[in-house]
Amino acid sequence: MAGFSFDLSGRVALVTGASSGFGARFARQLAASGAKVALGARRVDMLSALADEIAGTGGEALAVEMDVSNEASVIAAYDRIEDAFGTPDSIIANAGMNIEGPATEIAVEDFNRVMGVNLTGVFLTVREGARRLMAAGARERGHGRIVIVSSITANTVEPGLAAYSASKAAVQQMGKVLARDWVRQGINVNSICPGYVRTELNSEWFDTEAGQKHIAKFPRRRLMAEDSLDAMLLYLASDASAAITGSSFTLDDGQSL
């Protein structure tokens, strides 16, 4: 492809759930590729440390307190980002949580918490981003990139993950609908469905005997490497993916086979 590049110079990226796990890694990769990166999460101390780390390697990053399940917090975060960097045009809706357990034992309040972050939080994040992109002329520039982080559990069955799996299936389908809604507005919406990588959310589980048995069931009997999502994330966040919208990409090292 002529001119193919993951160079994100001139772009402003927002990563939600950037205080740890996938989000922190995504932020580092986006900054290393030239984007100014807004780091959104509730744990501001961790965001500030990451922003300092990125700045220490020559990048630009802004720590922004952001509760994705609260509309006022999302709007305030975008206001701050626009004041500092301009309108985010590479938006990574990554914030997520899980409360695991048999459906018969999960409190409805916990079910709603998962949905509030994983589904409503994604909706609020990408809707506000799309509104601002449209106001900033995305239709003429064709520069809007939204990446929703789903999961292989959106399409596979894992015991004890009713709320989490439902939320991830919902955002995957929502991404397709939003891609159609915004297809003439210069905004691409795509989803990635990662397999299992060791993160803050799951590290304790994979250290247990049951967790090790879980890994042994994967065709390659291993967790994915932490860099497994880098290339796809940068591709979908960049101009290189101009013709890709409404798609969902499974990146799982064959774990769902």
The number of helix segments (H) and strand segments (E) in the chain equals 10, 7
**3-class secondary-structure state, position 200:** coil
Catalytic annotation on 235? no
Interatomic CA distance for residues 211 and 240, integer angstroms: 38
**3-class secondary-structure state, position 106:** coil
Out of 78, 164, 196, 235, pick the active-site residue: 164
Number of alpha carbons in the 13 Å side-chain half-sphere of residue 135 = 10
Strands annotated E in 66-127? 90-93
Contact 164, 105 (CB under 8 A): no
- C-alpha dist (Å) from residue 27 to 15, 149, 169, 246: 6, 14, 24, 23
Contact 148, 175 (CB under 8 A): yes
- C-alpha dist (Å) from residue 124 to 61, 67, 88, 117, 232: 22, 10, 14, 10, 24
H-only helix segments in 120-257: 121-135, 138-141, 162-181, 203-206, 209-216, 230-237
Interatomic CA distance for residues 196 and 219, integer angstroms: 13
**DSSP state letter for 142:** -
Q: Which residues are catalytic?
A: 164
